[in-house]
Structure 1
Amino acid sequence: MGDDPEEGMLSWDESVFRDEHVFEIDYLPETFKHRKGQMESLTYALRPAVRGSRPLNVMVRGPPGTGKTTAIQKLFDEVGAQTADVRTLRVNCQVNATRYSVFSRLFEGTFDYEPPSSGISFKKLFGQIADKLVEDDRVLVVALDDVNYLFYENEASDTLYSLLRAHEEYPGAKIGVIVVSSDPALDVIEELDSRVQSVFRPEDVYFPVYDSPEIVDILEERVKRGFHEGVIGREILDYVATLTAETGDLRVGIDLLHRAGLNAEMRASRTVERQDVTEAYDKSKYISLSQSLSGLNDTERRLLEVIAHHDGEQAGDVYDAFHDETNLGYTRYSEIVNKLDQLGLINADYTSVDGRGRSRSLSLSYEKDAVLNRLD
């Protein structure tokens, strides 16, 4: 058997994966490691809701890939298992980046069907949600995940104001808010209007980047659940963990394990080798870029493409090229530039230009080919 060239090779109907879903973005791990303190803080804030009162508001902060969304999902599952009198709803603000679209998702979560696509005002939409909460005597806990996208669209203050003041306009409505930000440069409280700052006094829960031992521990658990025994050796796991630690994003490591496994299968191998990981890393390291691009509309993607072809040029020159293609005005152009800058997709730095004073130069934060390939 030891001399059999077919030994260690997969047949066409075999897989290195025990459960491939373990490596998908929406997978909720049974054991949520190294976030005990954060979970205790979140539980403390939501405990009043289980007793029928308004919960404490919470601000969850931390870089991408540090477990924030998983924590919210785990917490909401626990609340749902304890009582039916608390409605928990998570809104992805990367997809729903306006006040109206946020409340449309809240309407859908409250009534289990979507609101009319047109002809219903925000006031009526909100009123129906609040009336239903009062009628059912339910507490609503809203998690605005990736709330930074509401700030990028200047919608955060209006959205939070409506939620935080709901009990004044609709007596008996009990709503708690969890804002989740993945933008380390965003000072959530400072960027809100004064009318919102006066009522928004949230508990602050911070999610730091996982350290190397924590990354190894978490990835090892995924390996046990996701791969058949012996597919990932210790040396390979440590290599994946090292690459993950360099990015500070646990999602990179999880995606890297998945892609490396697929690479091994392409070679019909029963084990993942270093070359499988190295090749996979060229794609996995851009998971944050892919996530950011997925939230852009066609116009925003078009400007990013123009910047890629005019990398390092002055904002006015980039606008000329963008205007020729879209005919959009400078105000809207400037808004999109600011959003791309806030997302970390570009650098919009002010520089001195002879005879023109100070002007912004626009450059990509990632390699040109990496951006253009993912825009196609």
Structure 2
Amino acid sequence: MRPDGPQPVERQLPTDEAHELMALVRDLARREVRPRAAEEEDAGVFPRGVFTTLGTSGLLGLPYPQEYGGGDQPYEVYLQVLEELAAARLTVAMGLSVHTLSCFGLAEYGTKEQREQYLPAMLGGQLLGAYCLSEPNAGSDAASLRTRATRDGATWTLNGGKAWITHGGIADFYTVLARSGAEGPRGITAFLVPGDAAGLSAAPPERKMGLKGSPTAQIHLDGVTVDDGRRIGEEGQGFGIALAALDSGRLGIAACAVGVAQAALDEALAFLAGRRQFGRPLSDFQGLRFMLADMATAIEAGRALYLTAARLRDAGRPFSKEAAMAKLLCTDNAMKVTIDAVQLLGGYGYTADFPAERYLREVKVLQILEGTNQIQRMIIGRHLLGPETRA
């Protein structure tokens, strides 16, 4: 980072309250998140205390209604909070994004009684959520999931397995999508499952190239029973709930990608300004300045696109295509920016003494989460041309 620390990004915030909120986030990132990021990631430590602090600071439920403990903030503001946190530590920002995704189904499709009963604890920092859609054989083709929900009167029994679950094994609640009816997307129902439910267990966390502080694990459901009051939405509505949640979740991933890319650019700027070669600062070399210019332009383009999509969402307008575009552009750009940051630092960029290599390892997964970037291209194409036809 630069000698005086990362330079604050010029934020496009709609209210004085949002500016005060962002100042709080920057202070929290500076004091609580950034100082321990490298050490804890290297040791694989999950910062649960940070999430408690986020909750007590009112940051775990920013886009949700105030009456249930949320912040009543537009997505335009929430996403910029994510970006700020991602620049400090991606594990924290992505964890917040996943938690927000986990709350989406209940907040948007739950009954008033369900919201009053469950949301305050989910949004207030006492509970941490996980989102269970993917399975070992149902990743990009989520409509083919096999986890089964069987109803017996007012009780449901869930059997099956989920894969690639962020917060798997440490979450206090899981939003689980399970097949309750016929094959295909119309036979899927959503459930809110307690983390300590009998029959629910987690496999050992996956061994990953990055984000080692964020546990990712398979979840096993072996005769897990929940009452019908934990069903979210109508029977068979689960796949529609999942798709709506993913549209919003993709914007969260886009904002996280921009945050990591900004951190990588700041690191490269500081390094080039402080190092001399051939009798002059590295920052004086035109070829390196061109690389920095391309990096900064990619970051600003991604930021503008995710904010455009967020404003469409806040206005109640369709934003699925724009969310896919933002996720695609921001994560692809972040991959390129972090690669260039490592290159600009030369040999130092390849060592763990500087954070550039960690940014590169971490940002790769953002091209895969919430639908791979190949899936995003399919979604965009479908909006442009309609669904594919098969003979």
Which TM-score applies when normalising by structure 2?
0.31
Relative contact order, higher structure (CA 8 A, sep 6+): 1
Larger Rg: 1
